[in-house]
Structure 1
Amino acid sequence: MLNPISPTPAVSAHTLGPALRYVLAALACGLTTVLTMPLHDWLEPVNAVMLFLLTVVMTATWLGRGPAVMASFLSVGLFDFFYVPPRFSFAVSDIQYLLTFMVMLTVALLIGHLTNAMRQRAEEAQQAAQRSEALHQLARQLAGALTVDQVIADVETFLTQQLQAKLRLWLPDEHEQLHLACGHTSQVSYLLRLADSITRGPERAHRMADENGHHLLLPLIGSTRRRGVMAVTVDSGTALTQHAGLLEGLASLATTALERLHFVDVAYRSELAVHNERLRNSILSALSHDIRTPLTSLVGMAETLAMQPETRTGVAHDLAEDLRDQALRLHRMVNNLLDMARLQSRQQQGGLPLKREWQPIEEVIGASIQLLGSALAGHPIRTHLPADLPLVQLDAVLMERVFGNLLENAIKYAPAHAAIDIHVQSQDDLLHVYVHNEGDGFPPDRLTSVFELFERGHPESAVPGMGLGLAIARLIVDAHGGQIEAINPPEGGATVHFHLPLGTPPEIEPEAEVRA
């Protein structure tokens, strides 16, 4: 816990009432007179003046400015009454004593003023040192804070103990909207509006006063963004002016602590996400590898069963073909799982390795259509390829996988016997590819999320799938330096568009003519 400021050395000036302090000043002057009266016969008047001035200095040191002023006048009067002839009267026989009185009063007032000022400076220095030590102690506590609530509690305790001030703290949410995290909720609407303007305006503090006190609003400016706004409320506006530097230092410490907790949370979440991703990829890879072998055997047995003479016709033949088709579909799913795990693992190890070669895109498209084979039955593929398409530097094997996944996805959601269109064009140093079907289109609120792992356009759809095809396509396109997106064109249907950088293809020398 933070330690409050201890009382200042001038105990009487802060703990005694005003009347008692003046009484003590009068008693001090009287005591000086009583102690010096027996020494009157051999004590010079100038030495008596020094003793009275010493009394004024002590009064200013221990009792403050007002009692010191009273002691100055009282010392002059007592000196006149008891030491200046004729004694025991205020009459002055020698006019020179008037000059003595004036000099004595001036010196007493001046000494009292300087002594009181010195005392105040000493008190302020001690308070500053104590607050500085408390601020260092707060810094050590905030450095070990584990939660935002702990940071708020430490700052609030510091303000209460050191300045008797109240704290209001607004912190932003994930949408950058300020919410009150600490402080009274009543009568803060205007402060919230001012705090919101501070977060959006120049980086400076704001002061204001109302019937509830004097407020100082300080923005908590972090290294990357603003972490909130701190409002300090005190009863006196002078306190805000005197402790402006202290409050700015406190705001800086709070900002550092909040930002540290934010980055710790980000690092923890990132580490947890990487750990989960690695674990998921390991599980997917292990399962896919273990399932692949029995699936391959199942496909082979289904094809063998369908070719047997006794099952070439009839219900047994249809069942054998259905078994083979379902086994092939499950085999493709397992391949997708295994490929996704492998691609993500390579990406986490420093990037997806690509075997780039300059290829004509029409050959890549043709190879993809040929690999799909019977899966395209009932859905004609219409390609729209300009004759002057340039070469593209890409990994042909991976890009064939992109086209294969996009075509399979288009077939799943296209009406029966509907055509699938592939449009290719070059524009602005980019090769644009559009794969379009005539289905119902993507849900408008899932145009981005369909490319996430295990995400589907229609989560509850009866169409088979695991949500891997588009995720694999995006991973490969990103590795080639391109971008991919889902579009619902105005004419209807669904379109997946991606583009690849063209670069500068090598020049192809024309073949020499062969003469007969």
Structure 2
Amino acid sequence: MAKVLKLPYLPELAGTLLLPLVIVLLCLPLRDWISPTDVAMLQLLWVAWQAQHYGWRWASGTTLVSVLLLNWCFVPPYYTFDVHDASFFISFVVMVLLGLLISLLSDHLKQQVKRLRYAMSQTRGMYMLAKGLGQRPDWQQQCNYTAKLLSRRLGCAVQVIQGEQPPQSTNAVLAVGTPARAWIVVPDACLTSHPTLLHTAQSLLAQSYARLELSEKAQQDRVTAQLEQQKAMLLRSLSHDLRTPLATIMGASSMLADPELPLSTEQRQQQAQNIYQQSQILNQHFEKVLELSKAQLTTHQIQHSAFSSDDLVAGALARRGEQAAELSANLQCSPSAPLTGDLELLEIALANLLENALRHGTAPFELTMGQHASGYFIKLTNGIKSAVPAARDKGHGLGLNICQVVAALHQGKFDLRIDEAAEKVTAAMEWPL
């Protein structure tokens, strides 16, 4: 198969040499009816088109060729370059100057349009990058989006590599952030032709990383503030719930230890029984304090795992050994559902919910667990023993504090609602996916 010979600048040469000749040949039969000025106007029209598409250099050459052809075919004596009328020299000079002026102005306008299109393209790229980064909350997604967008806009392979150490590459490497959190690897030619877009991408990506860091720190500060609030509530609960059994123990033991106070055997047994019962209450309080301390000490160390709701119920009942049988007899659980979170902390929270329901509510205990659109939930509903629950009860406050801390550690919330009209209490814990 024969090879096709490709000549460089073939369209420009044809436009410079052939088209002016075609215009003159088309006008030649009308030489007796049109003036050389009319032909010159047609030639200048073609010069303007040539300047717009191929630049002022080719348009200037077209002007010179057009002047020569006009002199050859339309200025007497015909088919010579002699000019007997000096006025035609002025026409030729004006035509050359007009052609050059049109060429320069058209080329200048073309360059302005080119710069404007380049600026609009760069601005659109910056807008799309800023908008896309704002829609992606994950750092990895932001890096991938930046690399994809820059590769498409620049027409070359662009990489965004995470890490503090610069990658080994023969291409240009731009650091993102100070200190560097990522690196933009781009060919040197693209960096030379599109420096504004690349440096803007470098700055926007660094700002996005800083925004993510601030958001994460703000979230950590909110969790810390919630934990501090829980600690304050814990101190109030301890000062309130521990005083009564401790005062009872101290009073009964002081009576038994007083040699001047005559007590019968039955009275001594009664005081010993009071000491034992109040000691059990104190022991339960301290167990809850240990559970709450464990929950608070696991900040930033939550072990997320997948498990079923049946596993969670079984673990929670196992933590309340003596009460497990009574709870199981009155507990109505929803069908098994998959959950995700820290299983140990959620077992502690559910165990306290069940214990509060057993102590301060009435059966049946309706337990519902599962997943909804925004995350996971645990909901326990039971009856009310009295219309107005006591403000202080045995461990009630500490149990709620534990549930609130566990919910806060899971970035969720805990809510306790008392419906006196329906004589129902609903405790609900929610946390995001």
TM-score under structure 1 length normalisation: 0.42
Higher RCO (CA 8 Å, separation ≥ 6 residues): 2
More helix by share: 2
